[in-house]
């Protein structure tokens, strides 16, 4: 089956004053199949939201983009001009559930008016049908019907988020990008929101969910990609990642172990500045497995892990042991982990 | 054991002599419209050194209650006592020694941080506000270390740092006056798992050393149960609405006795940073 979205070598740099550059996203490649949900997880500032903005053509003027992001019958999202993105891509081919709904909703108009207008704009249906379609979208996003005539400022953060989700669902785009769709929602609503997003993928659409919420990712994702300092450091099936095999990249393992349901222990230190990345592996200053090679050679993403000394999968009883055998040795010269 | 929450204990007295709660709310009714309060008749008391979680859906009134407890919002009815003393004013009208006895951290660091201030100035703001500006430099650096903020970040402004870094600065600001009570309103709502665990560890290290009490407000049951001694549920009387038409009550106090090895619910202070005391 061909991919719904195929991203290769995506890099984003921001030009700053004094000729400095911020490497927000570096060499990211992944495919998203129809019906699949890929969760992109990582700490704030790891580049995951910049990646979403790049795919939607929403980067600021000082951004330099490399690579390609192809839709089956659409343009390259990274090189299409703004008119194409606005007229043919955003809302129609790629829907966005935004991180900050306040910025996404028009403050002076009611939620109902915005939903109906978006329906008409995207589908050209008449007023009466737009009314029904707007109601349906609101319902799918769990937005209460008796709040439809409110203005955005009269909504709580949670309701504003659901209004923005409804707006994203209205165009029925084949690819949905959700950028932190559950921030500020309580657990029940998180589950409702992500389940709805998941359902969207179920009928052959693709869902890229960018989130810091590992529980939300575990609930709906088929695959998980972990970003650190602008790179994807691990990409694995959700079953392997959250299940007994566990993540193989030390950072991914640390992130998962920080959950209150697990060890609740933070990864020591802080992520590096994206404007001053160290040579070699960007996680080296915080990594317990660091060895000499880590400080000079940037590990490439091989078999789903970008690490010179990946952890062994805790072999699940009976299954999967063969698949990972032989992958745990060092990939570069210079000795094993200390 | 003090620190039990009741629906309408109006006695106003600690249950056992000698046990003055660090923070007590009695019969608090509060909101933004007098006829439709979002919090009704809530009574709760937190002992010194105790950590209590308020759990509830978004828009249920728990944040309003947190603001009342932090002396930032005047209730329509009821009293707040801090260390046994009844609050005599709210916001800037609160007497300084009461205002400074409570530290507060909110969910959205960007909304609670002045964008014009550097992080260094931000986290020492309360010192200057109470005439202790001379200590700012020394305490600022100390606190930055305590919350895990690289010193070179102190010269930056909020838009130049990540949410996690800014929240570390906001937590430092809440701790700078060494409060006896800490109120954390969804402190980690926007943060990833590792930063969440790191900030909780900072709070617990501080409480370990100081014996401060904690009121943590949020909706993440897994997190709050792991973090706090007791978890209190809010229930909405008005169904799923944020309009405040329903108003909220404390449903019940769920004491969570610690089971066996789970006693170490929270990351214990790492030995390296805990002064032997
Ligand atoms: S083992 Fe080396 S390459 Fe792997 S994460 Fe640690 S520092 Fe990076």
- One-character DSSP codes across A166-222: HHHHHT--SEEEEESTTTT--HHHHHHHHHHHHHHHHTT-EEEEEES-HHHHHHH-S
Q: Would A208 be classed as within a structural domain?
A: no
Q: How far is the CA of A230 from the centre of ligand 1 (A)?
A: 15
Q: Determine which of A212, A213, A262, A275 to mutate to test the interface with B (most B C-beta atoms within 10 Å).
A: A212
Of residues B195, B201, B219, nearest to A187 (C-beta): B219
pLDDT for position A102: 67
Q: Please tell me the distance between residue B96's alpha carbon and the centre of ligand 1 in angstroms.
A: 50
Confidence of residue A103 (pLDDT cuts 50, 70, 90): low
Domain membership of residue A58 (yes or no) is yes
Cβ(A267) to ligand 1 under 6 A? no
Q: Where are the alpha helices (DSSP H) in chain B?
A: 62-69, 96-99, 109-112, 119-129, 136-147, 163-175, 193-210, 221-227
pLDDT value of residue A40:
96
Is A168 within a domain? Answer: no
Q: Confidence class of residue A239 from pLDDT cuts 50, 70 and 90?
A: very high
Choose among B163, B223, B240: nearest Cβ to A44. Answer: B163
- ipTM, two decimals, is 0.77
Domain housing A228: 1-35+43-80+215-338
For chain A, how many structural domains are there in total? 1
Distance A290 CA to ligand 1 centre (A): 5
Angle at alpha carbon of residue B271, lines to B163 and B168, rounded to 5° = 10
- What b-and-e string marks burial along A14-37, b requiring 16 or more CB atoms within 10 Å of the CB? beeeeeeebbbbbbbebbbbbebb
Distance, in Å, from the CA atom of B87 to the CA atom of B13, rounded to the nearest integer, reads 15
Q: How far apart are CA A33 and CA A13, in angstroms?
A: 27
Pairing of strands A21-33, B102-105: unpaired
Whole-angstrom Cα distance, residue B35 to residue B250?
Answer: 19
Q: Return per-residue pLDDT of chain B as tens, 277 residues.
A: 333 443 333 333 444 445 789 999 999 999 988 888 888 888 999 999 999 999 887 667 888 899 999 999 999 999 999 998 998 888 877 788 888 899 999 888 888 788 899 999 999 988 888 888 888 888 888 999 999 998 889 999 998 888 889 999 999 999 999 999 999 998 998 889 999 999 999 999 999 999 999 999 988 889 999 999 999 887 643 222 222 223 344 443 333 332 322 333 344 444 333 333 3
**A161 pLDDT higher than 60:** yes
Residue A73 contacts B where some CB pair is shorter than 8 Å: no
**Whose Cα sits closest to atom 7 in ligand 1?**
A284
Domains in chain B with CATH codes: 23-265 (3.40.50.300)
* pLDDT higher than 70, residue A137: yes
Q: How far is the CA of A268 from the centre of ligand 1 (A)?
A: 14
Please provide the DSSP assignment of A134-177 as one string: HHHHHHHTT--GGGTTS-GGGS-HHHHHHHHHHHHHHT--SEEE
**Position A156 pLDDT exceeds 80:** no
Over residues A137-145, the mean pLDDT reads: 86
Quick count: other Cβ atoms within 10 Å of Cβ A331?
17
Could you give the CA distance from residue B192 to residue A39 in angstroms, rounded to a whole number? 14
Atom of ligand 1 nearest to the CA of A249: 5
Check which CATH number belongs to the domain holding A227 and give it.
3.40.50.300
The Cα B78–Cα B249 span in angstroms is: 14
- Chain B within 8 Å of A189 (Cβ-Cβ)? yes
Is B5 strand, coil or helix? coil
pLDDT value for B171: 96
| Token pair recorded at residue A321 | 């042991």
**DSSP readout, B149-164?**
--GGGGGS-GGGS-HH
Instruction: Look at residue A304 and tell me if it is in a domain.
Output: yes
B169: helix, coil or strand? helix
Q: State the CB neighbour count (10 A cutoff) for residue A70.
A: 18
Query: For residue A146, how many other CB atoms are within 10 A of its CB?
Result: 8
- Give the pLDDT confidence of A16-48 residue by residue, as tens digits: 888 888 999 999 999 999 999 999 999 878 899
Q: Do A264 and B194 touch (CB under 8 A)?
A: no
CA dihedral B123, B126, B128, B131 (to 10 degrees): -150
Q: Which residue has the tokens 């209205």?
A: A170
Q: How far A169 CA sits from the closest chain B CA (Å)? A: 22
Question: In this structure, is the dihedral angle defined by the CA atoms of residues A159, A160, A161 and A162, taken in order, positive or negative?
Answer: positive
Q: What residue of A is the nearest CA neighbor of B190?
A: A183
Residue A131: CB partners within 8 Å, gap ≥ 6? A116
pLDDT value at residue B217: 92
Asked whether residue A157 is domain-assigned, the answer is: no
Q: Is the pLDDT of residue A13 over 80?
A: yes
Q: Per the CB < 8 Å rule, is A264 touching B192?
A: no
Residue A177 within a domain: no
Q: Give the tokens for residue B26.
A: 């009695």
CB contact under 8 A, B58 and A42: no
Question: How are strands ordered across the β-sheet holding A21-33?
Answer: A21-33, A3-15, A63-70
A176 found inside a domain = no
HSE-CB of A181 using CA atoms within 13 angstroms: 36
Q: Does residue A42 line the site of ligand 1, with CB under 6 A?
A: no
Angle subtended at Cα A139 by Cα B185 and Cα A178, rounded to the nearest 5 degrees: 60
Cβ within 8 Å, pair B267-A266: yes
Residues 6 or more apart whose CB falls under 8 angstroms from that of A239 comprise none
pLDDT of residue B238: 27
Dist CA A285 CA A294 (whole Å): 10
pLDDT exceeds cutoff 50 at A300: yes
Q: Is the CB of A253 under 6 A from ligand 1?
A: no
Instruction: Return the SS3 of B52.
Output: strand
The per-residue b/e assignment along A93-105, b for 16 or more CB within 10 angstroms, e otherwise, is: bbbbbbbbbeebb
Distance A67 CA to ligand 1 centre (A): 25
Q: Is residue A153 part of a domain?
A: no
């Amino acid at each position: 089956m061909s991919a719904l979205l195929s991203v290769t070598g995506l890099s984003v740099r921001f030009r700053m004053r004094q000729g400095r550059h911020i490497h927000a996203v570096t060499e990211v490649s992944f495919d998203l199949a129809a019906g699949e949900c890929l969760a992109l997880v990582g700490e704030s500032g790891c580049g995951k939201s910049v990646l979403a903005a790049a795919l939607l053509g929403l980067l600021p003027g000082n951004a330099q983009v490399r690579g390609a992001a192809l839709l089956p019958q659409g343009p390259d999202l990274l090189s299409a001009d703004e008119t194409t993105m606005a007229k043919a891509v955003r809302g129609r081919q790629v829907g966005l559930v935004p991180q900050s709904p306040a910025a996404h909703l028009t403050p002076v108009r009611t939620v109902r008016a915005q939903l109906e207008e978006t329906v008409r704009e995207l589908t050209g249906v008449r007023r009466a049908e737009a009314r029904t379609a707007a109601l349906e979208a609101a319902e799918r996003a769990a937005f209460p019907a008796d709040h439809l005539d409110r203005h955005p400022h009269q909504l709580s953060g949670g309701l504003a988020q659901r209004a923005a989700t409804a707006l994203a669902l209205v165009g029925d785009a084949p690819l949905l990008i959700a950028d932190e769709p559950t921030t500020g929602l309580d657990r029940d609503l998180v589950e409702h929101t992500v389940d709805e997003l998941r359902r969207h993928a179920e009928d052959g659409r693709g869902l890229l969910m960018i989130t810091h919420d590992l529980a939300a990712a575990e609930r709906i994702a088929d695959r998980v990609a972990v970003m650190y300092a602008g790179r994807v450091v691990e990409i694995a099936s959700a079953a392997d990642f959250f299940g007994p095999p566990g993540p193989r990249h030390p950072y991914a393992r640390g992130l998962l172990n920080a959950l209150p349901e697990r060890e609740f222990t933070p990864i020591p230190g802080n992520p590096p500045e994206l404007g001053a990345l160290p040579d070699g592996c960007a996680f080296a200053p915080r990594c317990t497995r660091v060895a000499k090679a880590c400080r000079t050679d940037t590990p490439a993403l091989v078999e789903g892990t970008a690490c010179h000394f990946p952890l062994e999968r805790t072999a699940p009883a009976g299954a999967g042991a063969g698949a990972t055998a032989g992958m745990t040795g060092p990939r570069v010269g210079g000795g094993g982990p200390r | 054991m003090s620190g039990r929450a009741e629906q309408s204990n109006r006695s106003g007295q600690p249950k056992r002599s000698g046990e003055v709660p660090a923070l007590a709310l009695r019969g608090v009714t509060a909101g933004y419209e007098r006829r439709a309060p979002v919090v009704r008749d809530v009574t709760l008391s937190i002992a010194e050194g105790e950590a209590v979680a308020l759990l509830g859906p978004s828009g249920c009134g728990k944040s309003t209650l947190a603001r009342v407890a932090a002396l930032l919002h005047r209730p329509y009815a009821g009293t707040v006592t801090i260390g046994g003393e009844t609050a005599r004013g709210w916001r800037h009208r609160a007497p300084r020694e009461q205002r400074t006895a409570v530290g507060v951290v909110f969910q959205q660091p960007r909304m609670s941080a002045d964008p014009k201030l550097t992080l260094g100035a931000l986290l020492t703001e309360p010192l200057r506000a109470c005439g202790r500006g001379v200590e700012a430099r020394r305490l600022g650096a100390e606190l930055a270390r305590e919350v895990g903020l690289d010193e070179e970040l102190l010269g930056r402004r909020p838009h130049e740092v990540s949410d996690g870094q800014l929240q570390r600065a906001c937590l430092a600001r809440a701790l700078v006056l060494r409060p006896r009570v800490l109120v954390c309103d969804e402190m980690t709502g926007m943060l990833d798992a590792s930063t969440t665990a790191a900030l909780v560890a900072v709070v617990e290290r501080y409480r370990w050393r100081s014996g401060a009490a904690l009121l943590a407000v949020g909706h993440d049951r897994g997190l709050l149960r792991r973090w706090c001694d007791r978890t209190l549920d809010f229930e909405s009387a008005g169904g799923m609405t944020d309009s405040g038409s329903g108003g909220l009550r404390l449903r019940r106090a769920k004491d969570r006795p610690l089971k066996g090895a789970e006693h170490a619910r929270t990351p214990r202070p790492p030995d390296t940073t805990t002064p032997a005391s």
